[in-house]
Amino acid sequence: HFLPSDREHVTIAELLGVMHPDDRTPFIAAAWRGLESGERTVVEYRVVAPDGTVRWIRGVGHTSDKTRPATTSSGIVEDTTER
């Protein structure tokens, strides 16, 4: 497992902690754009397991927070490694 599986939510710090270093800056930029605009965000990035296994992830997120920039978002992630 890349992230804790015993709960529904993870923090941005937890996500960035397993994310491939080269994907962190583009991910943060895309997430920030979504929080500022309120628009749906689609981003692809890699996660790295403790054993070095790399998986490709597609995330789709949005915020229902009406303040701008928003402070929370939710979404889904999909492992797209096999595509």
**Tokens 């991910």 appear where?**
27
The Cα angle at residue 62 between residues 10 and 77, in degrees rounded to 5: 50
Q: What is the pTM of this model?
A: 0.82
Write the DSSP string, 39-57.
Answer: --EEEEEEEE-TT--EEEE
Report the SS3 class of residue 63. coil
pLDDT at 10 over 90: no
Condensed to tens digits (0 to 9), the pLDDT of residues 27-83 reads 999 988 888 888 899 999 999 998 999 999 999 988 887 888 777 788 888 999 998
